Structures are given as C-alpha cells and as structure tokens.
Structure 1
Amino acid sequence: MTNASLSPELESLAQNAKKTLDKKVVDTVQLHFHPELGAPFWLEKAKTYDFDPLKDVNCFDDLKKFPLFEDDWLRGGPVRRFLPQKWWDKPTYTFETGGTTGIPKSRCVVDDFRIDYEQFSETLPDESFPKGANWMMLGPSGPRRLRLAVEHLCQTRGGICFCVDLDPRWVVKLIKKGKIEEAKEYSAHVIDQAMTILSAGHEIQCMFTTPKLLEALALRLMDEGSSIAESGIKGIFCGGTEFTQQWYRFAREELLGPDVYITPTYGNTLMGLACGKPFIPEDNFKITYYAPQPRAAVEVVDFDDHTKLVGYDETGRVKLYTMTDELFIPGFLERDEGERELPHEKYPWDGVSGVRPYHVFAKTTTVGVY
C-alpha cells in the first residue's frame, strides 16, 4: 500500500491511525485467546492453527495468518461461544441479522452497540441533530440491534426515541412469493405508523430510516401537502444498500430540500457503523464510507485473492475485520463490492465508495421494505 497521493499532514495522521489499529488488534487477540478469560470458539480454533495467536499476532497485517471467517459459524448456538468469558457475568443481548430462510446469524453483545453509537454520535452536527431532540426510528424492529442502537443514540444525545413496528422478513417473503401488492400494503402500514408519530405532537427533529422508507414517507407527506422539513425533522441518519449516488442526489434535491441534513451510513451487526465522508459539492454526490477504526477495519480486496488490496479507485470485494472486546473477526468477505478510496482528514484510513451487492450474488439478492 502506498500513500503517495496524501499530503504530509494526512500521511502523518494515517501513520498514527495505523499504530492505533495495530495496538487494538494485539489487545483484542490477547483477550479473545486468553486461556481463562477468552472466547471458547477462538480457544478451540487456536488448537488447529500452525501459529500461536498470543505470540505471533503483533500488528494488523498479522491477521492475514488467520483463515477467513465463515459467517455460517454464527448460525445457531451456543451464542456465547464468541463472547470472551470475561463478560459472562454481565447482562447480555443477542442480536440477529438476516434470517429470511434458515437459521439466522446471531451474536452476543454486552456494550458494543452502545459504544459504536456513542462514537457515531460524535460525528453528527449539533445544528442538524440538536441535543435534547426527540427521534423517530423508522426501520426494522424485533431481534435486530438497530432498534436498541438508535434508541441509545437518541438517549445519548438527550432525547426520547419513538419506534415503529417493522418485520422485514415478512416483506421479503411476500416479494419472493410474488405478492407485490401485499408488500406495498405492508410498506404503507409502516408509513402509517410514522405519520401517526409525526402528527402526535412529540416534537421529533431527528430520524433514522432507510432509503426506501424515507422516500415513501416523503411522498406521503407531499400527498398531504406537507414535507419532511415541515414535519419538523432537521437531521436524518440513513443506511441501506439502496443508498446510491443517484438516490443521494434525488434525496437532497427532491425529497428533503436545503433545510434537512442527511448523512449516509454503511454497517451491520458485525461491524458497527461506517460513516460517510462529509458532503462537498465537487464530489458530485459520491458516497465514501470509512469504517469505525480501530474497532473495525475494512479493506477492498482482489476478487480472486482476498489477501491482496486493489489499488486506489479500483474495484474489489469488501473485507471486514472486527476488533472489539466482545467480538473478534479476523477477515470476513462481505456480500458487497466497491472502490478503494484514499484516507480523509476526518477518517485517516482507507475508505470504500460505490458500495453495492457483490456481482456474483447480486442477481439472487431480494431487497424488501428497506
């Protein structure tokens, strides 16, 4: 990897970020492979390796000594096996992802979701996400981490969170069965809930939602002679694979107007939350995401060799690493692809832009109410 295109100041920031990441990797491995306090899954796996994680992992690049993480390991229990025994006496959550067919992937969490969203909170502009403002969570509920995470984000900023009831698995089932009208009715049911919350005098100024739901809400408000801005919302944190460059322009110019701030995010139950590069007009609505280092890192790797980074501006598959006190993932190939981007002053490490479903899987991916 070369940072030849970076200014001396950014190069220095990137080097410091790399040192922080290296230390985080070592600390995480030392905990997860600790003989008494570590995670049962990794302690068992260590017996199959031809290296000693406690002695031979001294920096981020050493994670390439591990085989790829397989997400099927997360299907079924016991779910605590990935959680270091250090935390087993703490109140523990289990969060699920996917699960439209078969056993869903799940992970145990003690505080990770709170830490992730507290750090994300620090990236939000107070003028658009006022401290003390109430929020609306217009996204999936049930066994997903997102509902509790957004609620904690709201509470961290001093507000109260109002949530809708949404089961995305039901929508995906309807679409797969070709019941498009029923899926539309369910989407309308979700928007009905949002409209009720907004009309109830709850003084909501901030919102999490997904691109499809934001569009549906904005159009419903327009049909009733109102708008997102007129409903009182100032700031929107939005995420989902439908958040494309074209949709970003459409949202800012057509759905929201100049008085509503929207920030794109990319994340999942395993990684946490990757922030979008701050908007500047000369980027032409290009969206670049930066992982929440050092708690997680993302690389854009060669389609045929996951140990090899692609060049800047080149296309590859997204590879995730998670290094928290509660979860260790030493390299997992996401179901996404994108372009590798240079570090940014605010996030001095590699980013990824143009995130979209990995082309090999794209034809078999069903996008529901999200």
Structure 2
Amino acid sequence: MSVAGESSSTELAASAAEALDRLNEHTLKTVHWHFHDDTGCPFWLEKKAELNFDPLKDVKSFDDLKKFPNFEDEWLRGGPIRRWVPKGHAGKPVFVFETGGTTGVPKSRMVIEDHWKDYELFSDTLPDKYFPRGANWLMLGPSGPRRLRLAVEHLAQHRDGICFCIDLDPRWVVKLLKKGQMDQVEAYKKHCIDQAVTILTAGHDVKCMFATPKLLESLGEALDEKGTSLAEVGITGIFSGGTEFTPQWTRFCVEELLGGSPEESGVYMTPTYGNTLMGLACSKQITAADGYKISYYAPQPRAVTEVVTFEDYNQVVGYGETGRVKLYTLTDEFFVPGFMERDEGERERPFATYPWDGVSGVRPFHELASATTVGVY
C-alpha cells in the first residue's frame, strides 16, 4: 500500500510542477500582451508609467505579479469602457457585462469571447450521463447586463441544446430588501419561479439547468405543490452557484430536494464558484462521505485563486487555514493582477484532477459581511 501511495504522491507532485510551469509561461505571455505598445489596452499602458518596475522586463513568473498593487474595485466603475479593450483585439465586437452596482455606478467588464471559452472549459467537466448532449437548458438566474445569462446560453448551444431563460432583475430585489418590503420580495421570487415552472411543464424537453441555491429550493417547492418534482419534469443535471452554497444546504438539496445521490435520484448537481472577472471555478465532487464539503478550483492558467492572510494579502495561508480569497485573471482580453474578493474561505490541497490549490467554505468576508446584501442569490 505504501508503494502505491508514494507513487500517487509522486505523480501529483509532477502534475503540480507541470501546472506551475504552464502558469508561469502563461503569465509571461499575458503580461507581455497587455503591456506591449502594439497589443496592450489603454488602461494598462497608461498605468505602466505609474509602476515602480517594468512589467515587460521584471515579470518572469506568476509570483512576480505580487509586484503589482492590488487591483482596485473603483477602476471598473464608469468609463470609457474602451480603455480596457486591448489594441490586439481592435475591430472585434465587444460585450460589456456588469457586476455589483446595487448602489451607485456598477462595475463593468469588457469581454470579447472569454465568457464562451470559460463555459466551454466548464462543459468538459460535466458528465454526459446527466447533462446529455442535445438536451435543452433552463437558465434560472439573473438576466439583463450580466454575463451569466449569455454564458449559460452559450453552454447550452455548445452542447447542442437550446436555452430557455427567465426575466430576473436582482437590483430590484435588493431595493425591496433595503426597504424591508419582504412581501414584495416574495412576490417577485414567485414571479420568477412561475416563469420557470411554465417552461418546465410546456414540453420543451429541458433536462439541464442553472439555478441559484435559493431559486432552486423555491422551484423544488413550487413543483412539489403541483404534485411533481425536478426529476419528474425531466431534469437530470443542475449546476448552481452562489455564496449560499454551504455543506448544510448541499446536504438538504441532495437528500431532500433531489431525492438522494445521482445514482438514487437520477439528478446530478454540481456547485460552482464564479464571477464576471474570473469565469467559473469547478467543485471537487461532493459526497456524503466527505460531509458534503465543497472545494472550488479555479480554471488555471486563465484564472487563479489564492487564500491569503487577513494581515498581508501577498502571504498565502497554510493548507486548511482561513484567509481572504484573492483572484488573478490572466486572459488576452482581461488582466487582473490580484483582486481581493468579498469572500473568505479555507485553502485546499491540489488533487489529481486539479493539481493546484483550491478554496473551500466560501462565505462573505467577515469584515464586509454585515454590509453585504444577499438577495435572490
């Protein structure tokens, strides 16, 4: 047994070393793209003059990104949006996606094809048994100027399906919550769920879906009131996301809402952690044996997450220890050398599928938690 264990450990170490080599190479390529006069974006070319180092000469590895100041929220609030478009992508159609902005000016991110690429990579992680190719999808989440709506639609199309979407404005929900109008919040949630139930019971052959935890729970309850269930209306694969994803909720979802493990219920649910800057981090498969623990792994080398100490955001915590989540985005469309997320969690070890660090127990950062309004998510 010890020989097998040592072999496995050696293989993982080799995979981790290869992943780090790829990350270092990708980092170098990304930095050169964004800071070269011919390909870079106006924002970073202008910012280069303020730095006390030369990104083109002094960044030789991923670790060298710590030379940059942390990426500031406010840089994304307001325009012009074209200051973020790299010269190397001039002339291509540009999307703009918003994030945050429940009060004041929302943060905006320009995108060309990143949302397609991120979800194509995510598609490769979905088991065809539960997310069958050619099946149609339901998008039960925020609409409007948000990346998620178009990204899930592309995911469905990439898997040869058609995506049905609902109308949902989370900003309206946040306004109602701040006014304490809980009856109106419930009425709006019912409005969203009614749309979903109509789609699922209209014979559209929808087998796969995205939903936030709260909406998934409400949908299950609404179907139950009609004497049916997610499995009975044909759903076999669900991916979900949001800070409300806890082991306790996951246990409830699998055991009560879905009727047991995928082998028992025929319904597979996978948690995800993502945002407009990062893309989508996949979860290590959740099991009852592991206490429904949820561990997320970023899509390296396009994005990286670290769990850093609360005192020093350039210092990674030990495995199993708690810290704040720090994000790096490294694509040829967008460069973020260290963004402090509004989340905290525990640092997780690499494993065979994702031979780099992960994060578990994701929850609102304790210093900001009281100021964070959690609405439909």
Q: Structure 1 length normalisation: TM-score?
A: 0.98
Equivalent residue, structure 1, for 2:81: 79
CA distance in 1, matches of 2:298, 2:305: 6
2:271 corresponds, among 264, 281, 286, to 264
Equivalent residue, structure 2, for 1:28: 30
Give the fraction of aligned pairs with identical amino acids, expressed as a percent: 65
Moved over 6 A (4+): none
2:361 corresponds, among 351, 354, 359, to 354
Q: In the alignment, does 2:339 pair up with 1:332?
A: yes
Give, in angstroms, the shift of residue 88 of structure 1. 2.1
Q: In the alignment, does 2:366 pair up with 1:366?
A: no
Which AA in structure 2 matches 1:344? F
Give, in angstroms, the shift of residue 369 of structure 1. 1.4
Deviations, residues 153-199 of structure 1 (Å, cap 9, x unaligned): 00000000000000000001001000000000000000000011011
CA distance in 2, matches of 1:230, 1:21: 44
CA distance in 2, matches of 1:283, 1:27: 39
Which AA in structure 1 matches 2:343? D
Which AA in structure 2 matches 1:252? V
Deviations, residues 14-43 of structure 1 (Å, cap 9, x unaligned): 110000100110010000001122111111
CA distance in 1, matches of 2:81, 2:311: 32
Q: In the alignment, does 2:308 pair up with 1:301?
A: yes
CA distance in 1, matches of 2:373, 2:133: 37
Deviations, residues 302-361 of structure 1 (Å, cap 9, x unaligned): 001001010000000000000001000000110000000000111110000000000001
Deviations, residues 282-312 of structure 1 (Å, cap 9, x unaligned): 2110000000100000000000100101000
CA distance in 2, matches of 1:324, 1:78: 20
1:317 corresponds, among 313, 320, 324, to 324
Q: In the alignment, does 2:235 pair up with 1:233?
A: yes
Q: In the alignment, does 2:120 pair up with 1:118?
A: yes
Contact 2:287-2:293 at 8 Å conserved across structures: no
Give, in angstroms, the shift of residue 280 of structure 1. 3.3
1:274 corresponds, among 277, 281, 291, to 281
CA distance in 2, matches of 1:250, 1:105: 34
Give, in angstroms, the shift of residue 281 of structure 1. 3.4
Unaligned runs of 5+ in 2: 1-5, 260-264
Q: What secondary structure is seen at the aligned counterpart in 2 of 1:35?
A: coil
Correspondence list, 1:99-118, <5 A: 99-118=101-120
Which AA in structure 1 matches 2:157? Q
Q: What secondary structure is seen at the aligned counterpart in 2 of 1:331?
A: strand
CA distance in 1, matches of 2:230, 2:204: 15
Which AA in structure 2 matches 1:294? P
Give, in angstroms, the shift of residue 48 of structure 1. 1.0
1:39 corresponds, among 14, 24, 41, to 41
1:146 corresponds, among 137, 148, 160, to 148
1:172 corresponds, among 164, 167, 174, to 174
Equivalent residue, structure 2, for 1:186: 188
Unaligned runs of 5+ in 1: none
Which AA in structure 1 matches 2:119? Y
Q: What secondary structure is seen at the aligned counterpart in 1 of 2:50?
A: coil
Q: In the alignment, does 2:138 pair up with 1:133?
A: no
Give, in angstroms, the shift of residue 83 of structure 1. 2.2
Q: What secondary structure is seen at the aligned counterpart in 1 of 2:177?
A: helix
State the number of aligned residues.
366
CA distance in 2, matches of 1:218, 1:224: 10
Deviations, residues 224-275 of structure 1 (Å, cap 9, x unaligned): 1101100100000100111111000000000012221000000000000000
Deviations, residues 124-169 of structure 1 (Å, cap 9, x unaligned): 0000000000000000000000000000000000000000000000
Q: What secondary structure is seen at the aligned counterpart in 2 of 1:336?
A: strand
CA distance in 2, matches of 1:81, 1:292: 26
Equivalent residue, structure 2, for 1:64: 66
Which AA in structure 2 matches 1:74? L
Which AA in structure 2 matches 1:66? F
Give, in angstroms, the shift of residue 98 of structure 1. 1.3
CA distance in 1, matches of 2:223, 2:150: 27
CA distance in 2, matches of 1:10, 1:25: 22
